[in-house]
Amino acid sequence: MTDNLTKTGAAVGEPVETGKSAPGDTFLDVRDLKIHFPTDDGLVKSVDGLSFQLEKGKTLGIVGESGSGKSVTSLGIMGLHTVGQYGRQKARISGEIWLNGRELLSADPEEVRKMRGREMAMIFQDPLSAMHPYYSVGNQIVEAYRIHNDVDKKTAKKRAVELLDRVGIPEPAKRFDNYPHEFSGGMRQRAMIAMALVNNPELLIADEPTTALDVTVQAQILDLMRDLQKEFGSAVVIITHDLGVVAELADDILVMYGGRCVERGPAESVFYEPQHPYTWGLLGSMPRIDREQTERLIPVKGNPPSLINVPSGCAFNPRCPYADVPKGGITRTQRPELTLVGERHHSACHMPQEERTRIWTEEIAPKL
Partner 1 sequence: MEPLLKVTGLQKHFPIRKGLLQRQTGAVKAVDGLDFEVYPGETLGVVGESGCGKSTMGRLITRLLEPTGGKIEFQGTDISHLGVSGMRPLRRDVQMIFQDPYGSLNPRHTVGSIVSAPFKLQGVEPEGGVKKEVQRLLGLVGLNPEHYNRYPHEFSGGQRQRIGIARALALKPKLVVADEPVSALDVSIQAQVVNLLDDLQEELGLTYVFIAHDLSVVRHVSDRIAVMYLGKIVELADRKSLYESPMHPYTRALMSAVPIPDPRRKGVKGERILLKGDVPSPIAPPSGCRFHTRCWKATEVCKTQEPPLLELRPGQRVACHHPEDAEGVTIPSARESVEVTITKSPESPKAPEAPEPVEAPEPEAPASAEATESTEQADAPKSGEPAEATESPEAPEGAESVSKPAAKDDAAGE
Binding site for partner 1 (CB under 8 A): 65-66, 170, 184-187, 214-220, 222-223, 241-250, 267-268, 271-272, 281-290, 292-293, 296-301, 303-304
Shorter beta-carbon distance to partner 1: residue 39 or 94: 39
Shorter beta-carbon distance to partner 1: residue 115 or 245: 245
Burial of 131 (0-12, 13-18, 19+ CB in 10 A): buried
Shorter beta-carbon distance to partner 1: residue 117 or 265: 265
Which 8-state DSSP code applies to residue 100?
T
Minimal distance in Å, beta carbon 245 to partner 1? Answer: 5
Shorter beta-carbon distance to partner 1: residue 99 or 222: 222
Minimal distance in Å, beta carbon 184 to partner 1? Answer: 5
Shorter beta-carbon distance to partner 1: residue 149 or 293: 293
CA dist., res. 316 & res. 234, Å (int): 34
Contact assessment for residue 132 and residue 195, using Cβ atoms and an 8 Å cutoff: no
Minimal distance in Å, beta carbon 239 to partner 1? Answer: 14
Shorter beta-carbon distance to partner 1: residue 179 or 271: 271
Burial of 163 (0-12, 13-18, 19+ CB in 10 A): buried
Shorter beta-carbon distance to partner 1: residue 153 or 301: 301
CA dist., res. 204 & res. 218, Å (int): 18
Shorter beta-carbon distance to partner 1: residue 26 or 218: 218
Q: How many CB atoms lie within 10 A of CB 92?
A: 15
Minimal distance in Å, beta carbon 261 to partner 1? Answer: 17
Point out which residues pair with 38 in neighbouring strands. 43
Minimal distance in Å, beta carbon 135 to partner 1? Answer: 23
Nearest to 239 by CA among 198, 209, 272: 209
Minimal distance in Å, beta carbon 139 to partner 1? Answer: 23
Q: How many CB atoms lie within 10 A of CB 350?
A: 25
Contact assessment for residue 28 and residue 99, using Cβ atoms and an 8 Å cutoff: yes
What's the full length of the chain, in residues? Answer: 368
Q: How many CB atoms lie within 10 A of CB 123?
A: 25
Angle between helices 137-148 and 153-166 (to 10 degrees): 120
Minimal distance in Å, beta carbon 199 to partner 1? Answer: 27
Minimal distance in Å, beta carbon 226 to partner 1? Answer: 8
**For the CA atoms of 278, 244, 100, 15, what is the dihedral angle to 10 degrees?**
0
340: Cα separation from own chain's centroid:
21
